[in-house]
Amino acid sequence: MCSASAPPQPTDDPRASPAAIDASAPKSGHNAPTRPLVHVVERDSALVADLGFAFATAGMRCHMHTTSEHLLRHLETEPAHAVLVEVQLPVGDRVEALEAICSHDPALSVVVLLERAAVELAVRAMRAGAYTVVERGTPCEEIAQALGDACQRTADLRSRQAQHAYVRARLDSLSPRERQVMELVVEGAPTKAIAQRLAISPKTVDVHRMNLMRKLRVDSVAALVRMVLSAQ
């Protein structure tokens, strides 16, 4: 286990200031933290101390909780990059709590801390939506690395979600006729064929194509095809 220096302590007080349980948050509002934020649900105060130090050393901010309910309340106001949550026997309520955490934000990567050789529980955790599992007794530095990987996965997923939402918004800005022209352009149809299919003049096709490419902010047919494919 790794040593700790002035580690954060667990809290279930919903009134607690995030900075009071932040492992490494700057005190000045001018230097707002930009490091990944992880939430930890763990009842072992000794492990909490070691994890707090390891996460701070790895450049992550962390908020500690002793219940999943308190974690979920915190996620409503401060989305995290990753979550480390303990799951022990009896498993019923713990797995339900894990499912609630995973369903709260499908892009949020959840790492589950399990007892050694808990194979069946590991399978249930993965089915509930966990990103990966780590065993108790794993060095804190390795747990921190697993959380770092989870943070990166979350960032990648959220980036793709944002890009997909941007593309959908651009596509939704098209008029019905512009969408028809776009679909035929993506299929590779030439201007004259599009004009015949839609019973409009080639010049009108060109006008619609120019307008839709301006709205979608693309400057070539290849870029248009990539955008349409990314929205599927």
Q: Which residues contact 13 (CB under 8 A, 6 or more apart)?
A: none
| Mean per-residue pLDDT, 194-217 | 96
Q: Which domains does the chain have, with CATH numbers?
A: 18-25+34-163 (3.40.50.2300), 173-230 (1.10.10.10)
pTM (global) more than 0.85: no
- Of 43-52, 143-152, 197-206, 221-230, where does mean pLDDT reach its minimum? 43-52
pLDDT tens-place string over residues 152-190: 999 999 999 999 999 999 999 999 999 999 999 999 999
User: What's the pLDDT tens digit per position in 31-57?
Assistant: 444 789 999 988 888 888 899 899 999
Helix axes 221-230, 176-187, angle to 10 degrees: 110
pLDDT at position 14 over 80: no
The predicted model gives 182-202 an average pLDDT of 95
Distances from the Cα of 75 to the Cα of 72, 80, 102, 113, 162, angstroms:
5, 7, 11, 19, 19
Q: Please write the tens of the pLDDT for every residue from 88-126.
A: 655 556 778 888 888 888 899 999 998 876 788 888 889
Work out whether the CA dihedral 101, 106, 110, 112 comes out positive or negative.
Answer: positive
Beta strands in 35-102 (DSSP E): 37-41, 61-65, 82-86
Confidence of residue 13 (pLDDT cuts 50, 70, 90): very low
Distances (CA, A) of 186 to 165, 200, 220: 20, 18, 11
What is the side-by-side order of every strand in the sheet holding 82-86? 61-65, 37-41, 82-86, 109-114, 132-135
Whether the predicted pLDDT of 229 surpasses 60: yes
Q: Which H or E element spans position 215?
A: helix 202-216
